[in-house]
A and B are shown apart, each in its own frame.
Chain A
């Protein structure tokens, strides 16, 4: 493992850009940490932290200059690998032409364990697309809505990264422990001024990341969720959720793995030119379940049940894993703070015959 300071991180970003990447990383905008183009360390949200609760997200100044200690932002990396809206094809003089892909290779800076797992889940759903260069970051400061420890997706980053960093702020300063996970990662790392990390430094970082697993604000109940959702089709609790649920679709939009889309056909006023666009859809939209003659999931209960049953249950049947990575975004960005871990606990309680108390 290697170590470098803030200058090294700056060199890393510049090396990625020089290598032809569009680098996306965290930035502060609109009272949140969003994901956008970055050109160097100066763009990163130095010293900004986040406090989250159900339906609540607030930025605050930290007592240090940490760059990567902020959880559950309003966006996920999904929007860059699976854009919210994109042109599929358009008509030409002679027929149809597929819309060209953006050829520039992406590099993601600051991908936490939960989000790295989400990119893996999304990749297995969407199939082979060009893979971004991933600079992952171990999490040493989970947020109040995080539960990656109970979904097995963090706080240390799993496989699939090109480079993994652990951000360190200690007596010796602000520095990063770096580990290359691919040949590409080794090649980029070689462009960074660095030194070998000591065994003590590596052990210290590992200790902090391991300790973070015990500080998760939430926990997904340790149950066979696929079976629970299967057993809960007729649960009364869906009606309880429906009383609170706005069916606005925010949970699906912020979820880093929700992948559903719909298409829209666009023609211009002359009628000579037509385009087909794809955009994110949500199973909370009435139109989503429209079959000929009407929608089949009109009640809020049926729509929430659909979302949760797929996310935690039938996702296993379809893709061999869970669709939830424990990032906590759906809890924070639900305007009324519906908590996926609490709803699962309530379903489990209802199945076992206990009083439901959420």
Chain B
């Protein structure tokens, strides 16, 4: 039986999420045996033509060219998995959505007339249908392997829509907000990282984005009680996945 083909695509992003594939050190050889890596330019310049059985798409859509290209990728992909905060929510570069891109363009670039960019950074799902989303900045290695393992046997991947707190508590960690007064976005943030930051006694930065229907107003009040300024609270909610825009209350 011919193994299914895997393609990796990059849009506006830092490459960190697709490198998670190379970070699967112990599983990499098994993975290379289970799928045929047909397109992964971070690892090899050899590209096999599509269509592809599964595509991993990293990055957000920030240029007119990308908006076209993602449609071609979708057309060539049987299963499309978007990976990372950029692809699932627009990423850090979506901070532009709250600002004037023209102003950035004129200030940052010597010859702004050569820059072709959109006014917003948008997730892949704003442009094409998406089969699965892996959150995070970067994504979690185990979740990537879970999606690929599930794909290979034809089952649904286990990607629960629960708070980071559920993972934190199962892991036996002590809540940094309750015990230390450290601001933490864990209660409104989508699980999947295994409560990585609280395990190092740091508050969650929310890089996995919001759970379904997060109660931002209630957590905002608690962040204030932890001593965060309004500016710091805005920054906390906007940095990775701009909670505020999606879920303004």
Interface residues as binary, A249-288 with B (CB distance below 8 Å gives 1, 0 otherwise)? 1100110000000001111111100000001111011110
Instruction: Find chain A residues with CB under 8 A from B158 CB.
Output: 264-266
A53 to chain B, nearest CB (A): 10
Contact B221 A336 (CB under 8 A): yes
Kindly identify which residue among B27, B153, B160, B219 contacts A246, using a CB–CB cutoff of 8 Å: B219
A248-B174 contact given A269-B152, A271-B152, A271-B153, CB 8 Å threshold: no
A56 CA to B217 CA in the complex, in Å? 19
A300's closest neighbor in chain B, by CB? B215
Interface residues as binary, B148-172 with A (CB distance below 8 Å gives 1, 0 otherwise)? 1110110100101111011001111
Contact A248 B179 (CB under 8 A): no
Contact A246 B187 (CB under 8 A): yes
A265's closest neighbor in chain B, by CB? B155
A290's closest neighbor in chain B, by CB? B161
Instruction: Find chain B residues with CB under 8 A from A245 CB.
Output: 215, 218
Kindly identify which residue among B150, B174, B222 contacts A55, using a CB–CB cutoff of 8 Å: B222
Contact A280 B149 (CB under 8 A): no
A354 to chain B, nearest CB (A): 25
Is B173 an interface position by the 8 A CB rule?
Answer: yes
A75 CA to B174 CA in the complex, in Å? 8
B102 to chain A, nearest CB (A): 38
Contact A280 B187 (CB under 8 A): no
Is B31 an interface position by the 8 A CB rule?
Answer: yes
Chain B: residues with CB nearer than 8 A to chain A? 27, 30-31, 33-34, 145-146, 148-150, 152-153, 155, 158, 160-163, 165-166, 169-175, 177-181, 184, 186-188, 201, 211-215, 217-219, 221-222
Is A79 an interface position by the 8 A CB rule?
Answer: yes
A84's closest neighbor in chain B, by CB? B170
A32 CA to B33 CA in the complex, in Å? 47
Tell me the residues in window 190-221 of chain A with beta carbons closer than 8 Å to chain B beta carbons.
none
Interface residues as binary, A228-253 with B (CB distance below 8 Å gives 1, 0 otherwise)? 00000000000000111111111001
Is A31 an interface position by the 8 A CB rule?
Answer: yes
Instruction: Find chain A residues with CB under 8 A from B150 CB.
Output: 267
Kindly identify which residue among B33, B166, B173 contacts A30, using a CB–CB cutoff of 8 Å: B173
Instruction: Find chain A residues with CB under 8 A from B188 CB.
Output: 246, 248
A274's closest neighbor in chain B, by CB? B153
Kindly identify which residue among A244, A280, A286, A333 contacts B170, using a CB–CB cutoff of 8 Å: A280
What are 25 A-B contacts defined by CB distance under 8 Å?
A: A30-B174, A30-B201, A31-B180, A32-B174, A32-B179, A34-B172, A55-B222, A74-B179, A79-B172, A84-B169, A243-B218, A247-B163, A248-B187, A254-B169, A265-B158, A266-B146, A266-B149, A267-B150, A269-B31, A271-B34, A286-B162, A286-B212, A335-B184, A336-B218, A336-B222
Contact B166 A285 (CB under 8 A): yes
Is A85 an interface position by the 8 A CB rule?
Answer: yes
A33's closest neighbor in chain B, by CB? B174
Instruction: Find chain A residues with CB under 8 A from B213 CB.
Output: 247, 286, 298, 300
Instruction: Find chain B residues with CB under 8 A from A61 CB.
Output: none
Interface residues as binary, A280-320 with B (CB distance below 8 Å gives 1, 0 otherwise)? 11101111000000000010100000000000000000000
Kindly identify which residue among B145, B146, B161, B166 contacts A253, using a CB–CB cutoff of 8 Å: B166
Is A57 an interface position by the 8 A CB rule?
Answer: yes
Instruction: Find chain B residues with CB under 8 A from A284 CB.
Output: 163
A157 to chain B, nearest CB (A): 25
A77 to chain B, nearest CB (A): 12
Is A118 an interface position by the 8 A CB rule?
Answer: no
B249 to chain A, nearest CB (A): 10
Contact A287 B162 (CB under 8 A): yes
A57 CA to B152 CA in the complex, in Å? 46
Contact A248 B163 (CB under 8 A): yes
B231 to chain A, nearest CB (A): 22
A266 CA to B149 CA in the complex, in Å? 8
Contact A84 B160 (CB under 8 A): no
Contact A270 B34 (CB under 8 A): yes
